[in-house]
Chains A and B, each alone.
Chain A
Amino acid sequence: MKLNNSYRIVSIIPVASMSDIAFLLLIFMLLSSLLAPSPPLQVAPPQVPNTAEVKVKKGTRIYLDSSGYIAVNEEPGYLKDITALLTRLSLPKEQVSLYADAECDFEKIDEVLTALKAQAFEKVTLICREAPQAGIHD
């Protein structure tokens, strides 16, 4: 009697769709990641310990240095022109990130916040730098 041959088990993993998966991953990463934009003004935000991490959305970014120069997104200007800048650029109103110099006078911050309020912006995030934590042996 002739015995039936058992099925041959293939020991190769099919990798034909590997490139599709890799490209899908690549596209997903490119779409979902928000890359840090290069700042139009060099500012040093205040160092604050234990501040919550904020995921900065694709909203409006305002840079303010201690000498009164500002940049709204990529558009440079002077602090006195902030209302005109905010009006001219049609910006998303939900979220504003404020990058201001730690040594900035409070009146400049107040001016920015007043202009944002007048333009019906909803939420502002005061961007900080994380202060270095004290070590165990300190």
Chain B
Amino acid sequence: MKIKRLAQISSEIPVASMSDIAFLLIVFFMIVAVFSLETGLSLRLPDKDKPPLKVSDQKIIELRISRDNSLKLNGDSVSLEELGDYLSQPVSRNRQFVAIQAHAKSQYKTAVLVIEQFKRNGFDKISLKKQRP
């Protein structure tokens, strides 16, 4: 009598579709992920142990932000556009330090727009403080 052989059971796990699964996972992550890339203005904070820097008045551009968010550049009223024009002129290069004094109740938005104008025109030594009442 002829004995029937049992069918051979394969002990391997089929991995042929593994790459398909992996690529599908990659595509899923790429579509779903929200990458964190934001815009902003970087400022370096002063060292708390260092004494404040003393600079002569001739080297300072003084900008005041008043309560109603209007600007005063070295004592003269200016708009944000006029500030940009002044900063792009070579004459402003004689003064390298910027002192921004903002009123306590002025808006943060105004301060950010002013800082952005200075940074855009290459000024990076910026002092930012609240006006004394």
Contacts and interface: CB of A to CB of B under 8 A. Distances in A.
A118 interface: yes
Interface string B19-43: 1011101100110011111111111
B107 A105 contact: yes
Interface stretch (A6-14, A31-39, A75-83): A31-39
Interface residues of A, number: 53
A22 interface: yes
B122 to A, nearest CB: 13
Nearest to B32: A35
Contact of A15 (B19, B34, B116): B19
A35 B111 contact: no
Contacts of B19: 15, 18-19, 21-22
A95 B36 CA distance: 15
A34 B35 contact: yes
B39, B102, B105, B120, most chain A CB atoms within 10 A: B39
Contacts of B44: 122-123
B26 to A, nearest CB: 5
B107 A103 contact: yes
B104 A106 contact: yes
Contact of A46 (B18, B43, B113): B113
Q: Which of B30, B33, B115 has the most CB of A within 10 A?
A: B33
Interface string B59-98: 0000001000000000000000000000000000000000
| Most chain A CB atoms below 10 A, which of B15, B48, B103 | B48
B39 A35 contact: no
B129 A110 contact: yes
Contact of B33 (A22, A35, A52, A120): A35
A6 B18 CA distance: 36
Given A22-B19, A29-B29, A110-B130, A101 B39 contact: no
Given A54-B39, A56-B38, 19 more contacts: A23-B22, A30-B29, A34-B35, A46-B108, A46-B112, A51-B39, A53-B38, A54-B38, A102-B108, A104-B107, A105-B104, A105-B105, A106-B107, A110-B102, A110-B129, A113-B45, A125-B41, A126-B41, A128-B112
The 5 closest A-B pairs by CB, nearest first: A22-B22, A107-B104, A19-B19, A19-B18, A46-B109
Interface of B: 15, 18-19, 21-23, 25-26, 29-30, 33-48, 65, 102-113, 115-116, 120, 128-130
Interface of A: 15, 18-19, 21-23, 25-26, 29-30, 33-37, 46-56, 97, 100-110, 113, 116-118, 120-130
